[in-house]
Structure 1
Protein backbone atom coordinates (compact mmCIF):
# COMPACT_ATOMS: atom_id res chain seq x y z
CA UNK A 1 0.00 0.00 0.00
CA UNK A 2 0.89 3.67 -0.11
CA UNK A 3 0.86 5.78 3.07
CA UNK A 4 1.79 9.25 4.21
CA UNK A 5 3.63 9.38 7.55
CA UNK A 6 3.52 12.68 9.44
CA UNK A 7 6.16 12.79 12.17
CA UNK A 8 9.48 11.02 11.65
CA UNK A 9 10.84 11.00 15.20
CA UNK A 10 11.91 7.95 17.18
CA UNK A 11 8.59 6.18 16.67
CA UNK A 12 7.37 7.53 13.34
CA UNK A 13 10.75 7.20 11.66
CA UNK A 14 11.13 3.58 12.74
CA UNK A 15 7.58 2.77 11.69
CA UNK A 16 8.23 4.25 8.27
CA UNK A 17 11.32 2.07 8.00
CA UNK A 18 9.42 -1.09 8.92
CA UNK A 19 6.69 -0.27 6.41
CA UNK A 20 9.22 0.30 3.63
CA UNK A 21 11.02 -2.91 4.51
CA UNK A 22 7.63 -4.63 4.20
CA UNK A 23 7.20 -3.38 0.63
CA UNK A 24 4.93 -0.39 1.20
CA UNK A 25 5.49 3.05 -0.30
CA UNK A 26 5.93 5.68 2.41
CA UNK A 27 5.86 9.42 1.85
CA UNK A 28 7.27 11.00 4.98
CA UNK A 29 6.91 14.53 6.34
CA UNK A 30 8.35 16.15 9.45
CA UNK A 31 8.62 19.76 10.54
CA UNK A 32 12.34 19.26 11.07
CA UNK A 33 14.18 19.92 7.77
CA UNK A 34 17.03 17.71 8.99
CA UNK A 35 14.75 14.68 9.26
CA UNK A 36 14.70 12.09 6.50
CA UNK A 37 11.55 13.58 5.08
CA UNK A 38 10.42 13.10 1.50
CA UNK A 39 8.36 16.28 1.23
CA UNK A 40 8.58 19.65 2.97
CA UNK A 41 4.89 20.38 3.66
CA UNK A 42 1.56 18.75 4.36
CA UNK A 43 0.34 20.07 1.03
CA UNK A 44 3.16 18.30 -0.77
CA UNK A 45 2.49 15.10 1.17
CA UNK A 46 -1.18 15.04 0.20
CA UNK A 47 -0.32 15.84 -3.41
CA UNK A 48 2.16 12.93 -3.54
CA UNK A 49 -0.46 10.38 -2.43
CA UNK A 50 -2.99 8.67 -4.67
CA UNK A 51 -6.66 8.66 -3.67
CA UNK A 52 -8.04 7.19 -1.55
CA UNK A 53 -5.19 8.37 0.67
CA UNK A 54 -4.03 6.93 3.98
CA UNK A 55 -2.26 9.36 6.31
CA UNK A 56 -0.72 8.31 9.62
CA UNK A 57 -0.25 11.09 12.19
CA UNK A 58 2.63 10.37 14.58
CA UNK A 59 3.19 13.67 16.37
CA UNK A 60 2.97 14.66 20.08
CA UNK A 61 -0.50 14.83 21.60
CA UNK A 62 -2.15 18.16 22.27
CA UNK A 63 -1.59 21.16 20.03
CA UNK A 64 0.63 19.41 17.43
CA UNK A 65 -2.02 16.74 16.85
CA UNK A 66 -4.88 19.26 16.83
CA UNK A 67 -3.15 21.50 14.27
CA UNK A 68 -2.21 18.57 12.06
CA UNK A 69 -5.72 17.14 11.96
CA UNK A 70 -7.22 20.59 11.35
CA UNK A 71 -4.89 21.02 8.37
CA UNK A 72 -5.64 17.56 6.99
CA UNK A 73 -9.35 18.29 7.16
CA UNK A 74 -8.89 21.05 4.59
CA UNK A 75 -6.40 19.15 2.42
CA UNK A 76 -7.83 15.63 2.16
CA UNK A 77 -10.84 14.43 0.18
CA UNK A 78 -13.86 12.22 0.87
CA UNK A 79 -12.84 8.57 1.24
CA UNK A 80 -9.37 9.35 2.58
CA UNK A 81 -8.30 7.88 5.92
CA UNK A 82 -6.50 9.52 8.84
CA UNK A 83 -4.91 7.34 11.53
CA UNK A 84 -3.83 9.06 14.75
CA UNK A 85 -1.05 6.90 16.19
CA UNK A 86 0.14 9.39 18.80
CA UNK A 87 -0.73 9.39 22.49
CA UNK A 88 -3.84 11.56 22.24
CA UNK A 89 -6.39 11.27 25.04
CA UNK A 90 -9.23 8.95 24.06
CA UNK A 91 -11.84 11.64 24.75
CA UNK A 92 -10.38 13.76 21.92
CA UNK A 93 -10.79 11.08 19.26
CA UNK A 94 -14.53 11.39 18.75
CA UNK A 95 -14.19 15.13 18.16
CA UNK A 96 -11.45 14.49 15.61
CA UNK A 97 -13.52 11.80 13.90
CA UNK A 98 -16.59 14.04 13.77
CA UNK A 99 -14.63 16.98 12.35
CA UNK A 100 -13.11 14.84 9.60
CA UNK A 101 -16.43 13.14 8.87
CA UNK A 102 -17.85 16.53 7.87
CA UNK A 103 -15.62 16.22 4.81
CA UNK A 104 -16.24 12.50 4.33
CA UNK A 105 -12.79 11.62 5.71
CA UNK A 106 -12.54 8.42 7.73
CA UNK A 107 -10.68 8.17 11.04
CA UNK A 108 -8.97 5.55 13.18
CA UNK A 109 -7.19 6.05 16.49
CA UNK A 110 -4.28 3.72 17.15
CA UNK A 111 -2.43 3.05 20.38
CA UNK A 112 1.12 1.97 19.58
CA UNK A 113 3.48 0.08 21.88
CA UNK A 114 6.97 -1.13 21.08
CA UNK A 115 9.24 1.82 21.67
CA UNK A 116 12.53 2.14 19.84
CA UNK A 117 12.67 -1.64 19.39
CA UNK A 118 9.55 -1.76 17.24
CA UNK A 119 11.34 -1.40 13.90
CA UNK A 120 12.79 -4.89 14.40
CA UNK A 121 10.37 -6.54 16.83
CA UNK A 122 7.15 -5.07 15.51
CA UNK A 123 4.57 -2.93 17.29
CA UNK A 124 1.54 -3.83 19.38
CA UNK A 125 -1.33 -1.95 17.75
CA UNK A 126 -4.69 -1.16 19.35
CA UNK A 127 -7.22 0.42 16.98
CA UNK A 128 -10.45 2.32 17.52
CA UNK A 129 -12.92 2.82 14.70
CA UNK A 130 -15.22 0.88 12.38
CA UNK A 131 -14.41 -2.53 10.93
CA UNK A 132 -14.57 -1.41 7.29
CA UNK A 133 -11.92 1.28 7.76
CA UNK A 134 -9.79 -1.09 9.86
CA UNK A 135 -9.89 -3.72 7.10
CA UNK A 136 -9.02 -1.11 4.47
CA UNK A 137 -5.64 -0.42 6.12
CA UNK A 138 -5.03 -3.92 7.49
CA UNK A 139 -2.11 -4.68 5.13
CA UNK A 140 -0.22 -1.77 6.72
CA UNK A 141 -1.12 -2.91 10.23
CA UNK A 142 -0.05 -6.50 9.50
CA UNK A 143 3.37 -5.22 8.44
CA UNK A 144 3.77 -3.06 11.52
CA UNK A 145 2.75 -5.70 14.06
CA UNK A 146 5.03 -8.55 15.21
CA UNK A 147 5.01 -11.85 13.35
CA UNK A 148 2.46 -14.35 14.62
CA UNK A 149 -1.14 -14.19 15.74
CA UNK A 150 -0.88 -11.43 18.33
CA UNK A 151 -0.11 -7.73 18.48
CA UNK A 152 -3.10 -6.34 16.57
CA UNK A 153 -6.65 -5.68 17.76
CA UNK A 154 -9.66 -3.59 16.85
CA UNK A 155 -10.43 -2.62 20.45
CA UNK A 156 -13.76 -0.92 19.81
CA UNK A 157 -15.30 2.21 18.26
CA UNK A 158 -13.46 5.50 17.86
CA UNK A 159 -11.49 6.19 21.04
CA UNK A 160 -11.12 2.51 21.85
CA UNK A 161 -7.55 2.28 20.58
CA UNK A 162 -6.24 5.11 22.70
CA UNK A 163 -8.30 3.94 25.70
CA UNK A 164 -6.71 0.49 25.42
CA UNK A 165 -3.23 2.01 25.12
CA UNK A 166 -3.91 4.17 28.17
CA UNK A 167 -4.76 1.06 30.19
CA UNK A 168 -1.71 -0.70 28.74
CA UNK A 169 0.54 2.10 29.98
CA UNK A 170 -1.09 2.09 33.41
CA UNK A 171 -0.30 -1.62 33.70
CA UNK A 172 3.24 -0.89 32.52
CA UNK A 173 3.64 1.69 35.30
CA UNK A 174 2.59 -0.88 37.90
CA UNK A 175 4.89 -3.59 36.56
CA UNK A 176 7.93 -1.31 36.52
CA UNK A 177 7.13 -0.08 40.03
CA UNK A 178 6.92 -3.68 41.30
CA UNK A 179 10.26 -4.60 39.74
CA UNK A 180 11.81 -1.49 41.25
CA UNK A 181 10.47 -2.23 44.71
CA UNK A 182 11.76 -5.81 44.55
CA UNK A 183 15.19 -4.65 43.38
CA UNK A 184 15.39 -2.02 46.15
CA UNK A 185 14.42 -4.55 48.83
CA UNK A 186 17.15 -6.95 47.71
CA UNK A 187 19.69 -4.12 47.48
CA UNK A 188 19.24 -3.40 51.19
CA UNK A 189 19.32 -7.02 52.34
CA UNK A 190 22.37 -8.91 53.58
CA UNK A 191 20.89 -12.10 52.12
CA UNK A 192 21.23 -11.15 48.44
CA UNK A 193 24.66 -10.36 47.05
CA UNK A 194 23.72 -9.47 43.47
CA UNK A 195 20.08 -8.35 43.00
CA UNK A 196 20.58 -7.75 39.27
CA UNK A 197 21.75 -11.35 38.80
CA UNK A 198 18.73 -12.63 40.73
CA UNK A 199 16.34 -10.67 38.53
CA UNK A 200 18.20 -11.83 35.43
CA UNK A 201 17.59 -15.43 36.53
CA UNK A 202 13.84 -14.79 36.45
CA UNK A 203 13.90 -14.30 32.68
CA UNK A 204 13.48 -18.04 32.12
CA UNK A 205 10.99 -20.29 33.88
CA UNK A 206 9.58 -17.63 36.20
CA UNK A 207 5.98 -16.48 36.26
CA UNK A 208 7.26 -12.87 36.14
CA UNK A 209 9.39 -13.46 33.04
CA UNK A 210 8.77 -10.61 30.60
CA UNK A 211 10.31 -8.29 28.04
CA UNK A 212 10.60 -5.69 30.82
CA UNK A 213 12.93 -8.07 32.66
CA UNK A 214 14.95 -8.49 29.46
CA UNK A 215 15.28 -4.72 29.25
CA UNK A 216 16.25 -4.56 32.94
CA UNK A 217 19.06 -7.00 32.20
CA UNK A 218 20.23 -4.74 29.36
CA UNK A 219 20.22 -1.74 31.69
CA UNK A 220 22.26 -3.48 34.42
CA UNK A 221 24.93 -5.05 32.22
CA UNK A 222 27.44 -2.25 32.81
CA UNK A 223 25.87 -0.83 35.99
CA UNK A 224 24.50 -3.71 38.14
CA UNK A 225 23.39 -1.42 40.97
CA UNK A 226 22.16 1.36 38.65
CA UNK A 227 24.31 3.88 40.52
CA UNK A 228 24.71 5.97 37.36
CA UNK A 229 20.97 6.13 36.68
CA UNK A 230 19.22 9.22 38.11
CA UNK A 231 16.37 8.49 40.51
CA UNK A 232 13.92 10.60 38.51
CA UNK A 233 11.11 9.26 36.31
CA UNK A 234 8.82 11.42 34.20
CA UNK A 235 5.23 10.46 33.35
CA UNK A 236 3.51 10.86 30.00
CA UNK A 237 0.04 11.51 31.39
CA UNK A 238 -1.61 8.26 30.37
CA UNK A 239 -1.53 6.69 33.85
CA UNK A 240 -3.18 9.86 35.15
CA UNK A 241 -5.89 9.54 32.50
CA UNK A 242 -6.41 5.89 33.40
CA UNK A 243 -6.88 6.70 37.08
CA UNK A 244 -9.36 9.45 36.17
CA UNK A 245 -11.31 7.07 33.93
CA UNK A 246 -11.23 4.32 36.57
CA UNK A 247 -12.61 6.70 39.20
CA UNK A 248 -15.49 7.60 36.90
CA UNK A 249 -16.16 3.89 36.28
CA UNK A 250 -15.88 2.96 39.96
CA UNK A 251 -12.79 0.79 39.48
CA UNK A 252 -10.11 0.86 42.22
CA UNK A 253 -6.59 1.21 40.76
CA UNK A 254 -4.24 1.48 43.78
CA UNK A 255 -1.23 -0.05 42.01
CA UNK A 256 -1.35 2.34 39.08
CA UNK A 257 -1.97 5.29 41.40
CA UNK A 258 0.98 4.37 43.65
CA UNK A 259 3.28 4.10 40.64
CA UNK A 260 2.12 7.50 39.36
CA UNK A 261 2.61 9.18 42.76
CA UNK A 262 6.10 7.68 42.96
CA UNK A 263 7.08 9.20 39.62
CA UNK A 264 5.68 12.57 40.59
CA UNK A 265 7.55 12.45 43.91
CA UNK A 266 10.79 11.63 42.12
CA UNK A 267 10.68 15.00 40.39
CA UNK A 268 10.84 16.84 43.73
CA UNK A 269 7.11 17.43 44.13
CA UNK A 270 7.11 15.75 47.54
CA UNK A 271 9.99 17.70 49.05
CA UNK A 272 7.88 20.50 50.52
CA UNK A 273 5.29 17.98 51.71
CA UNK A 274 7.90 15.98 53.60
CA UNK A 275 9.40 19.14 55.10
CA UNK A 276 5.98 19.90 56.60
CA UNK A 277 5.68 16.33 57.94
CA UNK A 278 9.17 16.46 59.45
CA UNK A 279 8.55 19.89 60.99
CA UNK A 280 5.25 18.79 62.55
CA UNK A 281 6.76 15.58 63.97
CA UNK A 282 9.39 17.74 65.64
CA UNK A 283 6.71 20.05 67.04
CA UNK A 284 4.41 17.47 68.62
CA UNK A 285 6.84 14.66 69.38
CA UNK A 286 10.31 16.11 69.48
CA UNK A 287 11.34 13.95 66.50
CA UNK A 288 14.18 16.11 65.19
CA UNK A 289 15.75 15.08 61.89
CA UNK A 290 18.91 16.97 61.01
CA UNK A 291 20.21 17.52 57.49
CA UNK A 292 23.56 15.96 58.33
CA UNK A 293 21.78 12.84 59.56
CA UNK A 294 19.94 12.52 56.28
CA UNK A 295 23.26 12.69 54.41
CA UNK A 296 24.42 9.59 56.31
CA UNK A 297 21.41 7.62 55.02
Structure 2
Protein backbone atom coordinates (compact mmCIF):
# COMPACT_ATOMS: atom_id res chain seq x y z
CA UNK A 1 0.00 0.00 0.00
CA UNK A 2 1.52 3.32 -1.09
CA UNK A 3 0.46 6.56 0.59
CA UNK A 4 0.33 8.49 -2.68
CA UNK A 5 -2.38 6.13 -3.96
CA UNK A 6 -4.40 6.14 -0.73
CA UNK A 7 -7.44 8.33 -0.09
CA UNK A 8 -6.85 9.61 3.44
CA UNK A 9 -10.56 10.38 3.82
CA UNK A 10 -11.10 6.64 4.08
CA UNK A 11 -9.36 6.67 7.46
CA UNK A 12 -11.83 9.31 8.66
CA UNK A 13 -14.62 6.94 7.66
CA UNK A 14 -12.93 4.05 9.47
CA UNK A 15 -12.64 6.11 12.66
CA UNK A 16 -16.27 7.29 12.45
CA UNK A 17 -17.69 3.78 12.03
CA UNK A 18 -15.50 2.52 14.89
CA UNK A 19 -16.58 5.38 17.18
CA UNK A 20 -20.28 5.24 16.34
CA UNK A 21 -20.66 1.46 15.91
CA UNK A 22 -23.14 2.14 13.11
CA UNK A 23 -23.00 3.16 9.45
CA UNK A 24 -26.15 5.23 9.93
CA UNK A 25 -24.74 7.23 12.84
CA UNK A 26 -21.33 7.54 11.17
CA UNK A 27 -22.96 8.95 8.02
CA UNK A 28 -24.79 11.52 10.14
CA UNK A 29 -21.60 12.55 11.94
CA UNK A 30 -19.69 12.91 8.65
CA UNK A 31 -22.67 14.43 6.80
CA UNK A 32 -22.43 11.76 4.09
CA UNK A 33 -25.10 9.53 2.60
CA UNK A 34 -25.23 5.91 3.74
CA UNK A 35 -24.48 4.63 0.20
CA UNK A 36 -21.37 6.84 0.08
CA UNK A 37 -20.21 5.54 3.45
CA UNK A 38 -20.89 1.92 2.45
CA UNK A 39 -18.86 2.48 -0.71
CA UNK A 40 -15.98 3.91 1.32
CA UNK A 41 -16.13 0.90 3.66
CA UNK A 42 -15.98 -1.44 0.67
CA UNK A 43 -12.84 0.33 -0.54
CA UNK A 44 -11.30 0.03 2.91
CA UNK A 45 -12.05 -3.69 3.01
CA UNK A 46 -10.37 -4.17 -0.34
CA UNK A 47 -7.39 -2.05 0.68
CA UNK A 48 -6.79 -3.96 3.92
CA UNK A 49 -8.08 -7.35 2.71
CA UNK A 50 -10.14 -7.62 5.91
CA UNK A 51 -13.88 -7.25 6.69
CA UNK A 52 -12.95 -4.54 9.24
CA UNK A 53 -16.47 -4.63 10.76
CA UNK A 54 -18.98 -7.45 11.21
CA UNK A 55 -22.67 -6.70 11.54
CA UNK A 56 -24.27 -8.00 14.75
CA UNK A 57 -27.89 -6.90 14.82
CA UNK A 58 -27.86 -3.14 14.32
CA UNK A 59 -24.22 -2.76 15.43
CA UNK A 60 -21.04 -2.80 13.37
CA UNK A 61 -18.51 -4.71 15.50
CA UNK A 62 -14.80 -4.16 14.67
CA UNK A 63 -12.69 -7.17 13.74
CA UNK A 64 -9.44 -7.92 15.61
CA UNK A 65 -7.53 -6.32 12.71
CA UNK A 66 -9.47 -3.07 13.10
CA UNK A 67 -8.95 -3.06 16.86
CA UNK A 68 -5.24 -3.50 16.22
CA UNK A 69 -4.86 -0.48 13.92
CA UNK A 70 -7.38 2.01 15.27
CA UNK A 71 -4.96 3.63 17.75
CA UNK A 72 -2.42 4.36 15.01
CA UNK A 73 -5.16 5.57 12.67
CA UNK A 74 -6.48 8.01 15.26
CA UNK A 75 -3.04 9.30 16.16
CA UNK A 76 -2.35 9.89 12.49
CA UNK A 77 -5.61 11.78 12.02
CA UNK A 78 -4.85 13.92 15.06
CA UNK A 79 -1.41 14.79 13.71
CA UNK A 80 -2.82 15.67 10.29
CA UNK A 81 -5.48 17.87 11.85
CA UNK A 82 -2.96 19.59 14.08
CA UNK A 83 -0.58 20.23 11.15
CA UNK A 84 -3.40 21.87 9.18
CA UNK A 85 -4.16 24.21 12.06
CA UNK A 86 -0.67 25.31 13.07
CA UNK A 87 -0.95 28.64 11.26
CA UNK A 88 -2.45 31.76 12.76
CA UNK A 89 -5.96 31.10 11.42
CA UNK A 90 -7.25 29.40 14.57
CA UNK A 91 -10.10 31.35 16.15
CA UNK A 92 -12.06 29.85 19.07
CA UNK A 93 -15.26 31.60 17.96
CA UNK A 94 -15.13 29.81 14.59
CA UNK A 95 -14.11 26.34 15.75
CA UNK A 96 -16.50 23.41 15.45
CA UNK A 97 -15.16 20.64 17.67
CA UNK A 98 -16.31 18.03 20.18
CA UNK A 99 -13.97 17.23 23.06
CA UNK A 100 -14.18 14.13 25.26
CA UNK A 101 -12.95 14.70 28.81
CA UNK A 102 -12.30 12.00 31.40
CA UNK A 103 -13.75 13.39 34.63
CA UNK A 104 -14.83 11.94 37.95
CA UNK A 105 -17.91 13.44 39.61
CA UNK A 106 -15.67 15.57 41.85
CA UNK A 107 -14.28 17.40 38.81
CA UNK A 108 -17.57 17.45 36.93
CA UNK A 109 -19.19 19.43 39.72
CA UNK A 110 -16.29 21.85 40.23
CA UNK A 111 -14.95 22.47 36.71
CA UNK A 112 -17.81 21.94 34.23
CA UNK A 113 -20.00 24.93 35.23
CA UNK A 114 -17.28 27.60 34.74
CA UNK A 115 -15.82 25.75 31.73
CA UNK A 116 -19.16 25.60 29.90
CA UNK A 117 -19.71 29.28 30.68
CA UNK A 118 -16.31 30.17 29.23
CA UNK A 119 -16.92 28.08 26.12
CA UNK A 120 -20.38 29.54 25.52
CA UNK A 121 -18.85 33.03 25.60
CA UNK A 122 -15.74 32.44 23.49
CA UNK A 123 -16.20 29.22 21.48
CA UNK A 124 -19.89 28.31 21.07
CA UNK A 125 -19.03 25.75 18.37
CA UNK A 126 -17.11 23.62 20.89
CA UNK A 127 -19.07 20.90 22.70
CA UNK A 128 -17.98 18.79 25.65
CA UNK A 129 -18.66 15.14 26.51
CA UNK A 130 -17.66 14.16 30.04
CA UNK A 131 -17.08 10.45 30.66
CA UNK A 132 -15.70 8.36 33.49
CA UNK A 133 -12.55 6.36 32.76
CA UNK A 134 -10.79 3.68 34.76
CA UNK A 135 -7.33 4.86 35.81
CA UNK A 136 -5.83 1.76 34.24
CA UNK A 137 -7.28 2.76 30.86
CA UNK A 138 -6.26 6.43 30.78
CA UNK A 139 -3.18 6.00 28.60
CA UNK A 140 -5.02 3.76 26.14
CA UNK A 141 -7.95 6.17 25.91
CA UNK A 142 -5.70 9.18 25.30
CA UNK A 143 -3.50 7.31 22.83
CA UNK A 144 -6.45 6.05 20.80
CA UNK A 145 -8.17 9.43 20.72
CA UNK A 146 -11.20 8.18 22.66
CA UNK A 147 -10.41 10.95 25.16
CA UNK A 148 -8.80 14.33 24.56
CA UNK A 149 -7.93 15.10 28.18
CA UNK A 150 -8.28 13.57 31.63
CA UNK A 151 -8.36 15.12 35.10
CA UNK A 152 -7.17 12.64 37.68
CA UNK A 153 -4.88 12.11 40.66
CA UNK A 154 -1.16 11.51 39.93
CA UNK A 155 -0.61 8.17 38.21
CA UNK A 156 2.46 6.71 36.41
CA UNK A 157 2.15 6.95 32.61
CA UNK A 158 4.55 6.79 29.67
CA UNK A 159 6.38 9.77 28.18
CA UNK A 160 3.77 9.92 25.40
CA UNK A 161 1.29 11.29 27.93
CA UNK A 162 1.80 14.89 28.98
CA UNK A 163 0.66 16.04 32.39
CA UNK A 164 0.48 19.14 34.55
CA UNK A 165 -0.64 19.62 38.11
CA UNK A 166 -3.75 21.79 38.19
CA UNK A 167 -4.99 21.76 41.79
CA UNK A 168 -4.16 20.83 45.35
CA UNK A 169 -6.73 19.87 47.97
CA UNK A 170 -6.99 18.33 51.44
CA UNK A 171 -9.26 15.85 53.21
CA UNK A 172 -12.02 16.97 55.57
CA UNK A 173 -14.62 15.08 57.65
CA UNK A 174 -18.36 15.67 57.47
CA UNK A 175 -20.83 14.86 60.25
CA UNK A 176 -24.42 15.88 60.88
CA UNK A 177 -25.17 18.86 63.03
CA UNK A 178 -25.70 17.72 66.59
CA UNK A 179 -23.74 14.50 66.16
CA UNK A 180 -23.36 13.24 69.76
CA UNK A 181 -19.69 12.26 69.42
CA UNK A 182 -18.36 15.36 67.69
CA UNK A 183 -16.47 18.02 69.69
CA UNK A 184 -18.81 20.31 71.57
CA UNK A 185 -16.53 23.30 72.09
CA UNK A 186 -16.18 25.80 69.26
CA UNK A 187 -12.41 25.52 68.73
CA UNK A 188 -12.05 21.86 69.74
CA UNK A 189 -10.69 19.65 66.94
CA UNK A 190 -11.87 16.17 66.02
CA UNK A 191 -9.62 13.63 67.76
CA UNK A 192 -8.25 10.66 65.85
CA UNK A 193 -9.60 8.22 68.46
CA UNK A 194 -13.08 9.70 68.13
CA UNK A 195 -12.87 9.48 64.33
CA UNK A 196 -11.88 5.80 64.43
CA UNK A 197 -14.66 4.90 66.89
CA UNK A 198 -17.39 6.07 64.49
CA UNK A 199 -19.03 4.29 61.53
CA UNK A 200 -18.14 5.71 58.10
CA UNK A 201 -19.33 6.16 54.53
CA UNK A 202 -16.85 5.32 51.77
CA UNK A 203 -17.45 6.82 48.32
CA UNK A 204 -16.01 4.77 45.46
CA UNK A 205 -17.01 3.64 41.98
CA UNK A 206 -15.31 0.30 42.64
CA UNK A 207 -17.02 -2.65 44.30
CA UNK A 208 -13.99 -3.39 46.46
CA UNK A 209 -10.89 -1.68 47.77
CA UNK A 210 -10.18 1.16 50.17
CA UNK A 211 -10.25 4.92 49.76
CA UNK A 212 -7.43 7.45 49.87
CA UNK A 213 -8.17 8.16 53.53
CA UNK A 214 -7.79 4.44 54.32
CA UNK A 215 -4.35 4.36 52.71
CA UNK A 216 -3.33 7.19 55.01
CA UNK A 217 -4.74 5.38 58.05
CA UNK A 218 -3.18 2.06 57.04
CA UNK A 219 0.26 3.66 56.96
CA UNK A 220 -0.15 4.22 60.68
CA UNK A 221 -1.54 0.74 61.27
CA UNK A 222 -5.05 2.10 61.79
CA UNK A 223 -8.44 0.87 60.55
CA UNK A 224 -11.93 2.35 60.50
CA UNK A 225 -15.36 0.78 60.22
CA UNK A 226 -17.04 1.20 56.82
CA UNK A 227 -20.81 0.84 57.28
CA UNK A 228 -21.82 2.13 53.85
CA UNK A 229 -20.15 2.09 50.46
CA UNK A 230 -21.76 4.27 47.78
CA UNK A 231 -20.85 5.78 44.42
CA UNK A 232 -21.42 9.52 44.79
CA UNK A 233 -20.49 12.17 47.33
CA UNK A 234 -23.83 13.97 47.01
CA UNK A 235 -25.69 10.84 48.14
CA UNK A 236 -23.15 10.33 50.92
CA UNK A 237 -23.65 13.90 52.15
CA UNK A 238 -27.37 13.29 52.44
CA UNK A 239 -26.82 10.02 54.31
CA UNK A 240 -24.52 11.84 56.75
CA UNK A 241 -27.13 14.56 57.33
CA UNK A 242 -29.66 11.93 58.47
CA UNK A 243 -27.44 9.45 60.35
CA UNK A 244 -24.44 9.33 62.69
CA UNK A 245 -22.08 8.14 59.93
CA UNK A 246 -19.01 10.20 59.07
CA UNK A 247 -17.82 11.02 55.56
CA UNK A 248 -14.24 11.86 54.56
CA UNK A 249 -13.86 13.73 51.26
CA UNK A 250 -11.88 16.47 49.43
CA UNK A 251 -12.53 19.93 50.87
CA UNK A 252 -13.09 21.76 47.56
CA UNK A 253 -15.85 19.41 46.46
CA UNK A 254 -17.40 19.43 49.91
CA UNK A 255 -18.17 23.13 49.48
CA UNK A 256 -20.48 22.13 46.60
CA UNK A 257 -21.83 18.70 47.53
CA UNK A 258 -22.51 19.67 51.15
CA UNK A 259 -24.05 23.10 50.48
CA UNK A 260 -27.61 21.80 50.60
CA UNK A 261 -27.12 19.76 53.76
CA UNK A 262 -24.96 22.05 55.88
CA UNK A 263 -23.19 19.17 57.61
CA UNK A 264 -20.46 19.98 60.09
CA UNK A 265 -16.92 20.14 58.62
CA UNK A 266 -13.80 19.14 60.56
CA UNK A 267 -10.19 18.69 59.41
CA UNK A 268 -9.11 15.09 58.81
CA UNK A 269 -7.50 14.10 62.15
CA UNK A 270 -4.26 12.80 60.63
CA UNK A 271 -1.45 14.67 58.88
CA UNK A 272 -1.53 13.69 55.20
CA UNK A 273 0.00 14.74 51.91
CA UNK A 274 -2.05 17.20 49.81
CA UNK A 275 -4.41 15.71 47.22
CA UNK A 276 -3.07 16.73 43.82
CA UNK A 277 -5.03 16.67 40.57
CA UNK A 278 -3.26 16.49 37.20
CA UNK A 279 -4.41 17.30 33.68
CA UNK A 280 -3.36 14.60 31.17
CA UNK A 281 -3.26 14.72 27.36
CA UNK A 282 -1.43 12.86 24.56
CA UNK A 283 1.75 14.34 23.09
CA UNK A 284 0.20 14.23 19.61
CA UNK A 285 -2.13 17.04 20.76
CA UNK A 286 0.70 19.37 21.80
CA UNK A 287 0.46 21.39 18.59
CA UNK A 288 -3.30 21.17 18.14
CA UNK A 289 -4.47 24.78 18.69
CA UNK A 290 -8.03 23.82 19.67
CA UNK A 291 -6.75 21.29 22.21
CA UNK A 292 -4.21 23.83 23.48
CA UNK A 293 -6.92 26.47 23.83
CA UNK A 294 -9.13 24.17 25.88
CA UNK A 295 -6.21 23.11 28.07
CA UNK A 296 -5.46 26.76 28.73
CA UNK A 297 -9.06 27.39 29.80
CA UNK A 298 -8.94 24.45 32.20
CA UNK A 299 -5.64 25.57 33.68
CA UNK A 300 -6.89 29.14 34.14
CA UNK A 301 -10.10 27.97 35.80
CA UNK A 302 -8.25 25.69 38.20
CA UNK A 303 -5.57 28.33 38.88
CA UNK A 304 -7.65 31.53 39.04
TM-score range, shorter chain: under 0.3
Question: Which structure features the higher share of strand residues?
Answer: 2
The structure with the larger Rg is 2
Q: TM-score, normalised by structure 1?
A: 0.25
Question: Which structure features the higher share of helix residues?
Answer: 1
